[in-house]
Structure 1
Amino acid sequence: MTRIKLGDYNQLEVVKEVDFGMYLDAGDEGEVLLPKRYVPKGCKPGDNLNVFLYLDQDERLVATTQTPLAKVGEFACLDVSWVNEHGAFLNWGLMKDLFCPFREQKQRMEMGESYVVAVFIDEESYRIAASAKVEHFFANDFPPYQQGDEVDLLVWQTTDLGFKMIVDNAYPGLAYRSQVFRPLHVGDRLRGYIMGVRPDGKIDISLQPLGRKQTTDFAEQLLQYLKDNNGYCNLGDKSDAEDIKRRFAVSKKVFKKAVGDLYKRRLITIEENGLRLVN
């Protein structure tokens, strides 16, 4: 018997066609409607469809082929569509907005603003809901990472120390402000690297590859920059670190290592006020 996952994707069989859509076999839950607007062209009874299951305005189980911005168990930065006396309603990419009750808000959400939330099932009401108290939804196990591992990141908060990140939709991490060389905003999604996992499970994040790979990657970026700019760059070893950061979003240390790498490979010459590509 099929066991469905609410707030997630399910492979369900089409059992019958009606004027207003298709009914799918939802196992213990009976049949669930896929409204006509979401039925793929050429779909017929007997086909298996990958659909997202949620509750409609009347709290009835319904299927869609639309893709929400997050499913249950994930985190996302969502816009507030409207607010009433019970809470806020967030646009998560489906016909029905996602409800965030006041008790799950850290501050009163305002229409038009965006907030990072966790998507979960409220056990009391069996409704899909959102919570801005994302720290309650992180994984409980010790982060399974090694230094240098590449991970998915969602910027969650900004602090004086740096940028709090949600790592792989599961763990909290931190990228120190002094090691971030590009503009970041709450809600940004990006790739990053594990600098280390502390004994208490806290994760330090780098936005650049670590060690030799970082130098190699940026050396190729710098080489391409020279090729695209008539073979010349007006930054060099003596340039200000802030100028390097603004131009290339790397530290001066990484810049100098990459310059050294290209020089050793005899691809550039180092001039008093910059770098020049060897013809």
Structure 2
Amino acid sequence: MNNFLGRVVSGKVTDENDKNYFVQIEGTTFLLDKDEILKPLKIGCNFKGFAYENENHKMQITRNIPDVQVDHYAFGTVVQSKYGLGIFVDIGLPNKDIAVSIDDLPELTKLWPQHGDKVMIALKIDKKDRIWGELADEEIFKSISIPANPKLKNRNMKATTYRLKLAGTRVITDDYRLGFIHPSEREMEPRLGQQVDVRVIGILRDGTLNLSMKPRAYEAISDDSKMIFAVLKRSEDGKISYTDKSTPEDIKAFFGISKGQFKRAVGNLLKNRLIEQKDGEMLLTEKGKETDIE
């Protein structure tokens, strides 16, 4: 097995042509693209760079060293997927994308990373000197994460999914905090490597952020609901003499909407426990009094 691939190594410049220098490392010759070099190299000098096999199956060395290496984990961007093989990840090499095997991906292809998603990988070299991407495991993410902060409660954040399980989705936020999304806190399961918008709803015992992909109650209600809620908030005592039992004519005259629209809007507010109806009146609940809707 080639011990140079996927690592930063040093070699000696032994020759050149119009396009490349040739760098030799213990009997193996690597191409070095001259477009990378600002000042001409002398034959016999040493050169240090990242060694890999390019897409044409030729050994190459580059001064543009990627963050992803053997035993070095970092995020790369998914550029394509191939059914029956896996996904390909751009780690910054000019002519090589790194394959992640189907064996390391979710069983359901709909949960595979798509173009533009990000996965954290390191490189591994198989017995045939092929370079593969190896997904970071839970311990790697724990080692790079920072502790959860109780002050983050109710904060909106962006996060990238890195582990999909029946119990829920594991993510890491853009500021490197670990998070968990229970299935009840999402409308659908996100893909591996997908960036998602989340909201902090608590802190778990292990210090992980408890997250939700669902909108806040007031973000989920309709425009008609917001209008009715605003009328209630502006009333002197937090109640109005209109309910879903009011006549269509009275509702149209006061709110400017049909009774069907009104009932749907009121139902939305009731579902979110922002209002209640009692004795022919609609009034704010304690939660409604504490909630502001823009």
In the superposition, the TM-score normalised over structure 1's length comes to 0.49
In the superposition, the TM-score normalised over structure 2's length comes to 0.47
For the pair shown, the structure with the greater C-alpha radius of gyration is: 2
